[in-house]
Amino acid sequence: MNTTNHKSGEDSNNYKHGYWGTRLYSLWNAMHNRCRNLSILDKNHFHYIGISVCEEWQTFEPFRDWALNNGYKDDLTLDRKDGKKNYEPSNCRWATYSEQLINRRAYGKSMFRGVCKSKAYWLAQYTVEGKSKYIGIFKTELEASLAYDEIMFKTYGLNRKLNFPERFKKWA
């Protein structure tokens, strides 16, 4: 495998693993940039302040090995399970864009059960045995609350607290 740095003509560790220029390498590099590059730690990226990458993932190969052994696919994103904790194997997973959106810190609370605001959208979700279950993304808070109620009623009947239980009493 050619390990020559195309810009300088010198050997480079970026080429030794054969992943330079791949999506997986780009994700690893972006993870480091989010934590190290102070120019991006502005009002839109404030949540990365104080977040770091574990010692193990300072080089690409251990990250690559973890990724390939833990379900990496090109259509998934790297997600921290707990957004307040660092990038490390025990706190990371591969998730769809929708799953990752659910896991983001809510930007606004809702007056409705099972609803939170994330940037321009309202998310509907519920928790079962400690795991968040995604219902959907909605334009309005009311649409999200109605979707939450519908899923909760179909799944649990009136045994689960609903936002508008009177809508479902005639079917109970």
Domain C-terminal end among 49, 64, 95: 95
Bridge partner residues of 109 (DSSP): 116
Does residue 82 share a domain with residue 12? Answer: yes
89: its two tokens: 């194997």
Tell me what pLDDT residue 55 has. 96
Domain C-terminal end among 67, 95, 123: 95
Tell me what pLDDT residue 38 has. 55
- pLDDT string in tens for the chain (172-residue length): 333 333 443 334 555 677 888 999 999 998 988 787 655 444 344 445 678 899 999 999 999 999 999 999 999 999 988 877 899 999 999 988 777 766 665 456 788 889 988 777 888 988 888 777 889 889 898 999 999 999 999 998 888 888 888 888 777 6
Please state, in angstroms and rounded to a whole number, the distance separating the CA atoms of residues 17 and 13.
7
Tell me what pLDDT residue 9 has. 39
* Assigned domain for 156 exists: yes
Pairing of strands 108-109, 115-118: antiparallel
75: its two tokens: 């259509």
Pairing of strands 92-95, 108-109: unpaired
128: its two tokens: 């079962």
CA distances from 71 to 46, 66, 68, 91, 149 (A): 29, 9, 6, 14, 33
Does residue 160 share a domain with residue 115? Answer: yes
Range of the domain at 65: 1-95
Domain C-terminal end among 95, 118, 148: 95
Tell me what pLDDT residue 159 has. 84
* Assigned domain for 100 exists: no
Give, in degrees to the nearest 5, the angle at Cα 128 between 124 and 121: 15
